[in-house]
Chains A and B, each alone.
Chain A
Amino acid sequence: MSTGTEQVDELIRQEYEHGFVTEIESETIPPGLNEDVIRQISARKNEPEWLLEWRLEAYRQWLTMTKPEWASVHHPDIDFQAISYFSSPKKKDGPKSLDEVDPTLLETYEKLGIPLEEQKALAGVAVDAVFDSVSVATTFKEKLAEAGVIFCSISEAVQEHPELVKQYLGSVVPARDNYFAALNTAVFTDGTFVYIPKDTRCPMELSTYFRINAANTGQFERTLIIADDRSTVSYLEGCTAPMRDENQLHAAVVELVALEDAYIKYSTVQNWYPGDEQGKGGIYNFVTKRGDCRGRRSHISWTQVETGSAITWKYPSCILRGDDSRGEFYSVAVTKGRQQADTGTKMIHMGRNTRSTIVSKGISAAHSSNAYRGLVRMAPKAENARNHTQCDSLLIGDKCAAHTYPYMEVRNPTAKVEHEATTSKIGEDQLFYCRQRGMSEEDAVSMIVNGFCKEVFQELPMEFAAEAQKLLSVSLEGAVG
């Protein structure tokens, strides 16, 4: 009989299932970063002058900034001059339908189990597939257009809806917000734009799949979602990436704006390549995600399931500006191998009677490190504001680490902040108990972990919840000691 530890090691060594590379010719700007490169990006995208100016300003800001060191993550310095900042699949004109899409590309999506066609139609999901930096296929546009919903790539939005883009872009995450946001502002190539008009319930779940492909190409996605008065939208984002030797940088910016009585639900399942056993080759994920509950009674809800990347640095946040607005953050972060995650949220209460809920579930296995970092700030005007934070850590094995860094700033005496935290460990006796009842060790771990994460999974849209559970099971196969 082999010992549990041996089984664990064997299962941990399993190779990344989604690690393959699609051979498509990419039009890539040579590596390097300077004002010329930014001008080239802007020119290739046929951008208006104001956008170029904004990029250049952000770049100049970025040059004066230093990389944040406060996060509980460690990695070699990133050589920003070694990165190529633009890469697009070689196509002169955008495809009119799926038939025009490069079959190799479609195959890639098939391998990833992302059915672009009928399945999604039946599921009522519109997909804006981002392959490297340029959107290659968009479905369901017409149905959305009927409802007046704009769902397109941000490049297209810049051309077609410049007034909306100009009004909202950078209004939640300003160019100088942080080091990686400034970099993103300077060099972002594509991403998604969503606008839900007043009194409109978006007729379907919106989803985008990102995939990093061309070697050495950093991804700088820019997503902007605007929910106008009394509108509702649910947006899903899911990612996988092929195997790579070099570390790949991903520094996205996501901005959400919820106006009066609007509701935005943003769900993420992130499964990027975490690197090999030594942590080599994994993706660095430095993302700025922020929602602005600008209108009264507006509501933004973040749900994330993070299983991938070598390093995750990510704090989807809510600015609760409007009175009676609500912010939520539900998170499952899984780390194994040498993965490092420093993730959490910020809830900035500015309006009266604002409410926020934070539920964070961190799972660490093997040699990984998992940190929750959260800020709850009650501004002087946040009368009767409330926050409840629940922060649970689950350890698998005895070489991993879990940290919790809650920050609270309360400047209003009527505001209430609650924080609960627990740490537990999957015990050998629990696994033995499950196995004695006939379950395999993997099934047992998966069952215990899914039980641990139940509160977060309940927040995911139905079809995503099943995917997330499966992903978690795959991620944690045998991660036991």
Chain B
Amino acid sequence: MLLSIKDLTVDVDGQPILKGLNLEVKAGEVHAIMGPNGSGKSTLAHVLSGREGYEVTGGEVKYEDQDLLDLEVEERARKGLFLAMQYPVELPGVNNTVFLREALNAIRAERGEPALSAVDFMKLMQEKLKIVEMKPDLLKRSVNAGFSGGEKKRNEILQMAVLEPKLAILDETDSGLDIDALRIVADGVNALRSPERGMILVTHYQRLLDYIEPDFVHVLANGKIIRSGDKSLALELEEKGYNWVLEEAVA
């Protein structure tokens, strides 16, 4: 099992947000987590990545048989956990290539691999850029600074392609994208699907799932997964809205 979440409860500012969440992800699987606003989707993504401000009050999270919650943010990243952010951060003055190489070499060091030379790194980049149809000159610019919304999201997928995580969590990656950008990002994600890699897609809309076909769909509401199914569940949600599942869960 790649990721196993048991009865996870999380508070934010003293308010319970996750209230006993269970989820299992195996390598090779793509899970979509859907749910209405405020259901705790982004909290789940952040808590898995180790971001501060989220207090775990109960439950456990196993990642490849380790206690994930014991690890620092960067340790999780080095062990192959990747979070594509809803709002990628700008780093003015920090060259995009330098950033990617620093990150890759930190992760390679953890794997016991030597740092890539500048030449080898550039070769790798040329190859990876194609996956997200990104122009090479974006590599020369500062990380995300002055990037359009679509360019920022593509940059996230580029990072994922370079860092080759075992578990990728994509937090609302579709938000703010027009249809062309959505297609490019989705193609990038699909190209990175692999039997060795698990993925969690956190999304509000079914739209993304037209492009990335999940193996499982979960509905997160009021801090719990209240329903799981295959991709047909997403279509049903699209048609009937979230209220339908919410009412069924209460009943």
A residues with CB within 8 A of B: 1, 3-4, 424, 427-430, 432-441, 443, 447-448, 451-452, 454
Determine if B235 is an interface residue (Cβ-Cβ < 8 Å): no
| In-complex Cβ contact of A432 among B51, B104, B106 (8 A) | B51
**B89 contacts A429, C-beta separation under 8 Å:** yes
* B244: interface (CB < 8 Å): no
Contact A439 B94 (CB under 8 A): no
- Report if B72 contacts A (CB, 8 A): yes
Q: How far is the CA of A342 from the CA of B208 in the complex (A)?
A: 54
Asked if B173 is at the interface (CB within 8 A of a chain A CB), the reply is no
CA A435 – CA B78 in complex, angstroms?
9
Inter-chain contact B98/A433, CB cutoff 8 Å: no
Q: Tell me the residues in window 32-70 of chain B with beta carbons closer than 8 Å to chain A beta carbons.
A: 49-52, 69-70
List A contacts of B69 (CB < 8 A).
1
Say if the beta carbon of B179 comes within 8 Å of chain A: no
User: B163 within 8 Å of A by Cβ?
Assistant: yes
Q: Which residue on chain A has the smallest CB distance to residue B159? A: A437
Q: Are A437 and B92 in contact (CB under 8 A)?
A: no
B88 touches A1 (CB 8 A): no
The 3 closest A-B pairs by CB, nearest first: A451-B93, A437-B103, A438-B106
Report the minimal beta-carbon distance from A452 to chain B, rounded to whole angstroms. Answer: 5
Whether A3 pairs with B52 at a CB distance below 8 angstroms is yes
Q: Say whether B215 faces chain A, with CB atoms less than 8 Å apart.
A: no
Q: Does B182 contact A (CB under 8 A)?
A: no
Can you list 20 pairs linking A and B with CB atoms under 8 Å apart?
A427-B89, A430-B90, A434-B103, A436-B49, A436-B77, A437-B102, A437-B103, A437-B159, A438-B78, A438-B103, A438-B106, A438-B107, A439-B74, A439-B103, A443-B102, A451-B92, A451-B93, A451-B94, A451-B98, A454-B93
CB distance from A73 to the nearest CB of B (A): 28
- Please tell me if the beta carbons of A447 and B77 are within 8 angstroms of each other in the complex: no
Task: List the B residue with the shortest CB-CB distance to A437.
Answer: B103
Least Cβ–Cβ distance between B157 and chain A, in angstroms = 13
Among A432, A438, A447, find the residue whose CB has the most chain B CB atoms closer than 10 A: A438
Q: Is the CB of B99 within 8 A of A447?
A: yes
Residues of A within 8 A of B76 (CB): 436
A438 near B74 (CB under 8 angstroms)?
yes
Residues from chain B with Cβ under 8 Å of A443 in the complex: 102, 106
Q: Known contacts A435-B74, A437-B102, A451-B92; can you find 4 more A-B pairs with CB under 8 A?
A: A432-B52, A438-B107, A448-B93, A452-B93
Q: Is the CB of A433 within 8 A of B85?
A: yes
A476 CB to nearest B CB, Å:
15
- A1 and B91 in contact (CB under 8 A), knowing A437-B77, A447-B99? no
Please name all residues of chain B whose beta carbon is closer than 8 Å to the beta carbon of A452 when the two chains form the complex: 92-93
CB distance from B143 to the nearest CB of A (A): 8
**Contacts across chains A and B counted by CB atoms under 8 Å:** 82
Once the chains are docked, how many angstroms separate the CA of A448 from the CA of B88? 16
Chain B 113-145 interface residues, beta-carbon cutoff 8 Å to A: 142
Asked whether any CB of chain A lies closer than 8 Å to the CB of B95, the reply is yes
Counting chain B CB atoms within 10 Å of each CB, which of A429, A430, A432 scores highest?
A432
Q: Report the bound CA distance from A441 to B52 in whole Å.
A: 14
CB of A391 to closest CB in B, whole Å: 15
In the assembly, what is the distance between CA of A275 and CA of B77, in Å?
A: 37
Contacts of A435 on B, CB cut-off 8 Å? 72-74, 77
Q: Is the CB of A433 within 8 A of B91?
A: yes
- Distance in angstroms from A81 CB to nearest chain B CB is 48
- Chain A residues, CB < 8 A from B91: 430, 433-434, 447-448, 451
- The answer to whether B98 touches A439 (Cβ under 8 A) is no
Closest to A1 in B: B72
Q: A428-B52, A440-B106 are contacts. A447–B98 as well, Cβ < 8 Å?
A: yes
Tell whether B230 is near chain A: CB-to-CB under 8 Å: no
Assembly CA distance A433 to B107 (angstroms): 15
Per the bound structure, the CA–CA distance linking A452 and B93 in Å amounts to 5
Neighbouring A residues of B85 by C-beta, 8 Å: 433, 436
B110 is an interface residue with CB less than 8 A from chain A? yes
Return chain A residues, CB-CB under 8 Å to B17: none
A428–B78 Cα distance when bound, in Å, is 20
CA distance A435 to B74 in the complex (A): 5
Given contacts A438-B107, A440-B74, A447-B94, is CB(A433)–CB(B102) below 8 Å? Answer: no
Cβ of B83 under 8 Å from chain A = yes
A438-B88 in contact (CB<8A): no
Contacts of A447 in B (CB 8 A): 91, 94, 98-99, 102
Which residues from B are CB-within-8-Å of A451? Answer: 91-95, 98, 142
Interchain CB contact under 8 A, B89 and A438:
no
Specify which of B51, B83, B106 is in contact with A439 (CB 8 Å cutoff).
B106
Nearest-CB residue, chain A, relative to B49: A436
Q: How far is the CB of B87 from chain A (nearest CB, A)?
A: 8
When distances are taken between beta carbons in the complex, the residues of chain B under 8 Å from A429 are: 89
Report chain B residues within 8 Å CB of A437: 77, 99, 102-103, 106, 159, 163
A447 CA to B76 CA in the complex, in Å?
Answer: 20
Task: Report the nearest B residue to A361, measured CB to CB.
Answer: B93
**A436 contacts B99, C-beta separation under 8 Å:** no
Q: How far is the CA of A430 from the CA of B77 in the complex (A)?
A: 15
Give the residue of B52, B90, B106 whose beta carbon is less than 8 angstroms from that of A4: B52
**Does the CB pair B92–A436 fall under 8 Å?**
no
List A contacts of B163 (CB < 8 A): 437-438
- C-alpha spacing A388/B220, complex, angstroms: 56
Chain B residues, CB < 8 A from A4: 52
Residue with the greatest number of chain B CB neighbours at <10 A, chosen from A437, A439, A451:
A437
The CA-CA distance from A440 to B163 in the complex, in Å, is: 16
CB distance from A397 to the nearest CB of B (A): 15
Q: Which residue of B lies closest to A441 (CB)?
A: B74
Nearest CB of B to A8, in Å:
13
Nearest-neighbour CB distance to chain A for B129, whole angstroms, equals 17
B50 touches A1 (CB 8 A): yes
Are A433 and B89 in contact (CB-based, < 8 A)?
Answer: yes
Smallest beta-carbon distance A38→chain B, Å: 49
